[in-house]
Amino acid sequence: MFDDNGSFLLATLEFFIFFAWFMGLFWIFGDLFRSRDLGGVAKTFWTLFLIILPLLGMLVYLIARGGGMTDRALSAHAEAQRRQETYIRSVASDAGAGTATRQITEAKALLDSGAITADEFERLKAEAWVKSPVA
Indicate the number of domains in the chain.
Answer: 2
Question: Is pLDDT at 97 greater than 80 in this prediction?
Answer: no
The pLDDT of residue 135: 46
| Residues 60, 22 share a domain | yes
| Residues 112, 77 share a domain | no
Separation of alpha carbons 75 and 36, rounded Å: 11
First CA to last CA across the chain, in angstroms?
56
**Side chain identity at 110, as an amino acid letter?**
L
Question: Is pLDDT at 101 greater than 70 in this prediction?
Answer: yes
The pLDDT of residue 8: 84
Please give the residue range of the domain that contains residue 35. Answer: 5-92
| Residues 76, 26 share a domain | yes
| Residues 87, 104 share a domain | no
| Residues 112, 61 share a domain | no
Q: How confident is the model at residue 49 (pLDDT cuts 50, 70, 90)?
A: very high
The pLDDT of residue 133: 60
> Has this prediction a pTM greater than 0.75?
no
| Residues 124, 105 share a domain | yes
| Residues 81, 16 share a domain | yes
